[in-house]
């Protein structure tokens, strides 16, 4: 496997499932990367990536999630690993993505470069054997973290899309290496960067369309994972479960219309959603000692204006070298 990687020499796969903006994003990608391939509707994150690996014609492939808009500068990337002590055959190269809801810049939703054989052999998510690999890739795989962000993660097109994005991160950022922690000592047991990301998901977003849905989802995911013994956090990997749960358990709580929702083309009541979001914030403050701050739209805008993304300790740093616990 070559230690010089030119992204234009590698198969690029667009992975879509049910993203409301997937066709627009796919059309955008094809204008920038005419050789891009697509997999669509494959259920399960492990299976979707294996589908890419099975159809790859190069020894690595790059994945682009269905909610991503890729920066054209990405296709200028040539990475030289000849002086780096890394095993490319068993390493995933990870670039950051910038989140459209809260401005966070980290690996969630970002572009990834995968070794084909490693993907074919891995067992994560729905195929996981190890408990730590049931809800994410990162605990079982070796990530080479790149500092640059080359995509915009657009996951607030609909209430459901924003809610699910927040809920998934609310669950995953509440775990330590994929496992639950003692809620009585929550902050001390969650990696510092993940804790800060959790706070951002729970607090920031009221300035964008459907941002409150993302905040509600993040707070609910954190609450259920840590404070509801009947909740199975592994459900976070299952998009069919998400859809059923949202339609049957979540949306009925917020039936109704108001001026805000009519303008946004969806039928739900903003005030009901805000009230429930505030309630969850109060519960997280009282029971997990999480500093949830009830920022309005201007507060969210201010945060994004001053937010500085901490570097990943320099390019070509592996996740294990950066303390081994940071979600990719």
Per residue in 188-247, pLDDT (tens digit) is: 999 999 999 999 999 999 999 999 999 999 999 999 999 999 999 999 888 999 999 999
- Angle between helix 211-227 and 270-288 (nearest 10): 40
pLDDT of 149 over the 90 cut: yes
Strands 112-115 and 142-153: unpaired
Confidence at residue 259, expressed as pLDDT on a 0 to 100 scale: 62
Residue 4 pairs with which residues in a beta bridge? 80
Confidence at residue 318, expressed as pLDDT on a 0 to 100 scale: 41
Mean pLDDT of the chain: 88
Residues 115 and 59: beta-carbon distance below 8 Å: yes
Residues 6+ apart with CB under 8 A from 118: 89, 90, 92, 141
pLDDT of 129 over the 90 cut: no
Cα–Cα distance for residue pair 106/258, rounded to 1 Å: 35
Average pLDDT over residues 137-148: 76
Cα–Cα distance for residue pair 46/44, rounded to 1 Å: 6
pLDDT of 322 over the 50 cut: no
Q: Which is it for the CA torsion 132, 104, 49, 121, positive or negative?
A: negative
Tokens representing 233 are 């956090």
- Give the distance from CA 143 to its chain's centroid: 15
- When pLDDT is cut at 50, 70 and 90, the band that residue 128 belongs to is low
Residues 288 and 183: beta-carbon distance below 8 Å: yes
Confidence at residue 326, expressed as pLDDT on a 0 to 100 scale: 37
- The model's pLDDT over 159-173, given as tens digits with 9 standing for 90+, comes to 999 999 999 999 999
pLDDT of 133 over the 70 cut: no
pLDDT of 13 over the 60 cut: yes
Residue 64 pairs with which residues in a beta bridge? 14
Confidence at residue 124, expressed as pLDDT on a 0 to 100 scale: 80
Residues 3 and 80: beta-carbon distance below 8 Å: yes
Residues 6+ apart with CB under 8 A from 210: 101, 156, 157, 158, 159, 161, 162, 163, 264
pTM over cut 0.75: yes
For residue 45, CA distances in Å to 87, 93, 134, 195, 242 come to 24, 17, 10, 24, 14
Backbone angles phi, psi at 9, to 5 degrees: -95, 5
Cα–Cα distance for residue pair 198/204, rounded to 1 Å: 10
Q: Which range (148-152, 209-213, 275-279, 319-323) has the least confidence?
A: 319-323
- When pLDDT is cut at 50, 70 and 90, the band that residue 114 belongs to is very high
Q: Is 32 helix (H, G, I), strand (E, B) or coil?
A: helix
Query: Which residue has 């607090």 as its token pair?
Result: 203
The DSSP result for 96-123, as a single string, is: EEEETTT--EESTT--EEEEHHHHHH--
Q: Which segments of the chain are extended strands (E)?
A: 4-6, 11-16, 37-40, 60-65, 68-70, 78-80, 91-99, 105-106, 112-115, 142-153, 317-318
- When pLDDT is cut at 50, 70 and 90, the band that residue 141 belongs to is low
- The model's pLDDT over 250-286, given as tens digits with 9 standing for 90+, comes to 999 998 766 666 556 667 889 999 999 999 999 999 9
- When pLDDT is cut at 50, 70 and 90, the band that residue 321 belongs to is very low
Cα–Cα distance for residue pair 24/14, rounded to 1 Å: 12
Confidence at residue 309, expressed as pLDDT on a 0 to 100 scale: 78
Residues 6+ apart with CB under 8 A from 237: 44, 45, 125, 126, 134, 135, 136
In the chain, what percentage of residues exceed pLDDT 90? 70
Confidence at residue 267, expressed as pLDDT on a 0 to 100 scale: 74
Confidence at residue 263, expressed as pLDDT on a 0 to 100 scale: 58
Instruction: Find, among 73, 277, 264, the residue nearest to 170 by Cα.
Output: 277
- When pLDDT is cut at 50, 70 and 90, the band that residue 310 belongs to is confident
Confidence at residue 71, expressed as pLDDT on a 0 to 100 scale: 97
Regarding predicted confidence, which is higher, 320 or 46? Answer: 46
Regarding predicted confidence, which is higher, 248 or 178? Answer: 248
Residues 6+ apart with CB under 8 A from 259: none
């Amino acid at each position: 496997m070559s230690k010089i990687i030119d992204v234009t020499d590698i198969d690029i796969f667009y992975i879509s499932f049910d993203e409301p903006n997937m066709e627009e994003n796919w059309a955008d990608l094809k204008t920038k990367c005419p050789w891009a391939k697509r997999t669509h509707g494959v259920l399960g994150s492990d299976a979707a990536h294996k589908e890419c690996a099975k159809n790859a014609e190069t020894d690595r492939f790059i994945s682009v999630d269905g909610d991503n808009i890729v920066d054209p500068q990405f296709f200028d990337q040539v990475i030289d690993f000849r002086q780096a002590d890394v095993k490319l055959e068993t390493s995933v190269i990870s670039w950051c993505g910038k989140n459209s809801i809260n401005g966070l810049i980290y690996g969630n939703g970002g572009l990834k470069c995968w070794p084909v054989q490693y993907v074919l052999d891995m067992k994560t998510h729905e195929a996981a054997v190890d408990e730590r690999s049931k809800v994410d890739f990162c605990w079982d795989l070796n990530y080479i973290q790149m500092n640059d962000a080359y995509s915009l993660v657009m996951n607030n097109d609909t209430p459901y899309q924003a809610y699910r994005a927040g809920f998934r991160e609310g669950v995953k950022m509440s775990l330590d290496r994929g496992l639950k922690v003692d809620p009585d000592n929550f902050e001390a047991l969650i990696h510092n960067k993940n804790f800060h990301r959790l706070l951002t998901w729970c607090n920031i977003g009221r300035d964008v369309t459907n941002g409150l849905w993302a905040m509600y989802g993040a707070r609910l995911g954190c609450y259920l994972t840590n404070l509801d013994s009947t909740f199975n956090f592994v459900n976070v990997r299952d998009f069919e479960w998400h859809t059923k749960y949202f339609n049957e358990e979540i949306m009925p709580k917020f039936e109704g219309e108001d001026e805000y929702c009519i303008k946004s083309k969806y039928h739900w009541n903003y005030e009901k959603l805000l009230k429930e979001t505030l309630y969850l914030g109060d519960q997280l403050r009282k029971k997990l000692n999480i500093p949830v701050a009830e920022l309005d739209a201007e507060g969210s805008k201010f945060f994004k204006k001053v937010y500085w993304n901490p570097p990943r300790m320099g390019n070509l740093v592996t996740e294990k070298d950066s303390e081994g616990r940071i979600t990719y």
